[in-house]
A = this chain, B = another copy of it.
Amino acid sequence: MLINKTYKRALKSVLGMLLVSVSWQTQALTCPQLTNVPLPPKCSSIDLESCNAAVQNIIPAAACAIFEVSPAANDATLVLRFTTLITNSWYDATAPYHPTAKGVYSDIARMPEPEDNSELNVALSYASHKVLSGLFPHLAPEWDSMLVEMGLDPHDLSEDTTTPIGIGNYAGRKVLEGRANDGMNQLGNEGGQLYHRLPYADYTDFKPANTAYKLRFPSKWQPAVLMERPGVYRVQQFVTPQIALTTPYSYESPDEFTSPVPLKSKIWNYPSYVAQVNDVLNTSANLTDEQKMKAELFDMKIFSLGFAAVFASESQGLSLMDFIHYDFLTNMAAFDTAIAIWKEKRRHNSVRPFSAVRFIYKDEPVTAWGGVGKGTVNDLPASQWTSYLPVADHPEYPSASASFCAAHAETSRLFLPEGDVLSYTVPALAGSSQIEPGITPQNDLYLYFPTWTSFEEDCGNSRVWGGVHFEPSVPAGQAIGREIANRAYQFYLSKVAGQ
């Protein structure tokens, strides 16, 4: 039904994507996650005046570095800090070429308005080189070749802010320095760590209330046991709890953003607690292929948020300068959202569905998804219930993914010329599932998002379909995401007005 209903629009959208990829050609790739992704050819010295180095050169290279840290790009706080610093450096490095804009971390004298993309591409590329070299120093040769491929000299360290190279180098350095000690502990030096420094390690002494072995507090978060390799299991640790203490771009303190207490997750609300568990089981028992594929799509932030932004920019014909502003705005909004959401995750410290299901029904048989290729089974001991998506390593409430999608959608609605209109289709071909490869979906699906609102809603709901969230988590996350998106947009407007 869904296929028929949306087939025409889907086909149009897919054809558009294919045309883009045919005209761009597919290139040799450097990380397995991008193997089947049609990428544009790289900018080179001959087309710097017309190409988009941010999309064509920086994003593919940076994505591979990010996948090294986060193989499915679902460690959202880390991924967002990387993408925010990179896009921030683009914004700061091109601000002098804008009629009024001022950098976030630099205030470079205004340059003549450029006639084409050359200066912007050079400036943003040198800025990216600085930021990427700081974030991923072990990949230094990669960042050098990223410039060499565009005919640029990676050893040109000029900071002469009357030239695009100097502007890029200076702006990139200022962003990196401005964010080096922002609270994320990028250098591992927070909390007085003199030796054995560990990047982005928690220095706030967060301790889970429950162990992985016993749900002593049934309303509280319990770390899950994960298979690292067959036979080698590890217990989750709350990922980057310190982002709650990290400096936001667009507001003073995350304390002004709060979510209502998740009452149904409180064990003293026993009937509601059980009803919520039953909802999880019902969803698990009735999972459709479309829900599974949407759950997987929205779990991979680069492929969902990142690629949707590139698609919207291309299809709405944004200039290079506008693309840079849009991409910085969406990432910065999501990053600022993460700060507030993590503050709330720490405060509520709320139980995940897997713990609650096992706690309520113990070894009783339940009807639910039975694992890869098993479909729905009716003799699953509740103690063995497992969510379709792997559960992330942070407390449940509010949903971070729902909040990021909402921030992304709201900034898109505010910024883009077509407002809420998106018309984005993601093909999900038969058997292309990462979780049930060769099995799901049974038939080719085309996941279609007519508007940012539909994108935002599916994204939020997909966390419930994936079994990693209870329903109240979704609106709670979305509300904060949308609120902060408006703050981020105001911040962006003030910067672009030169304040």
Q: Please tell me which stretch of A112-120, A275-283, A377-385, A475-483 contacts chain B, meaning at least 4 of its Cβ atoms lie within 8 angstroms of it.
A: A377-385
- Residues in chain B near residue A384, CB distance under 8 A: 193-196
Q: Please tell me which stretch of A122-130, A232-240, A335-343 contacts chain B, meaning at least 4 of its Cβ atoms lie within 8 angstroms of it.
A: A232-240
CB within 8 Å for A239 and B231 given contacts A205-B213, A384-B195: yes
Contact of A202 among B70, B214, B233 (CB under 8 A): B233
- Residues in chain B near residue A68, CB distance under 8 A: 229
Would B198 and A227 count as touching, CB distance under 8 A?
Answer: yes
Would A75 and B231 count as touching, CB distance under 8 A?
Answer: yes
Q: Taking the complex as formed, is A223 at the interface, i.e. its CB lies under 8 A from any CB of chain B? A: yes
Would A381 and B198 count as touching, CB distance under 8 A?
Answer: no
- Residues in chain B near residue A213, CB distance under 8 A: 205, 207-208
For A188, the closest partner residue in chain B by CB is: B230
CB within 8 Å for A230 and B199 given contacts A205-B213, A211-B211, A213-B207: yes
Would B377 and A195 count as touching, CB distance under 8 A?
Answer: yes
Give Cα A201–Cα B230 distance, bound, in whole angstroms.
Answer: 8
Q: Taking the complex as formed, is A256 at the interface, i.e. its CB lies under 8 A from any CB of chain B? A: no
A434-475, CB under 8 A of B: which get 1 and which 0?
A: 000000000000000000000000000000000000000000
For A386, the closest partner residue in chain B by CB is: B196
Would A232 and B70 count as touching, CB distance under 8 A?
Answer: yes
Would B223 and A232 count as touching, CB distance under 8 A?
Answer: no
Count contacts on A: residues with CB < 8 A to the other chain.
50
Contact of A235 among B192, B199, B223, B379 (CB under 8 A): B223
CB within 8 Å for A194 and B381 given contacts A75-B232, A207-B211, A239-B231: yes
- Residues in chain B near residue A233, CB distance under 8 A: 198, 201-202, 237, 239
Give Cα A341–Cα B310 distance, bound, in whole angstroms.
Answer: 56
Q: Tell me the residues in window 311-363 of chain A with beta carbons closer than 8 Å to chain B beta carbons.
A: none
- Residues in chain B near residue A5, CB distance under 8 A: none
For A205, the closest partner residue in chain B by CB is: B213
Q: Taking the complex as formed, is A263 at the interface, i.e. its CB lies under 8 A from any CB of chain B? A: no
Chain A to chain B contacts (Cβ below 8 Å), 23 pairs = A69-B229, A192-B381, A194-B380, A194-B381, A195-B370, A195-B371, A195-B377, A195-B380, A195-B384, A195-B386, A196-B384, A198-B230, A198-B233, A200-B230, A200-B231, A201-B233, A207-B213, A212-B235, A225-B237, A231-B239, A231-B240, A233-B237, A235-B237
For the complex of A and B, the 8 pairs showing the least CB-CB separation, nearest first, are A200-B231, A234-B234, A235-B235, A207-B213, A199-B230, A78-B231, A196-B386, A233-B237
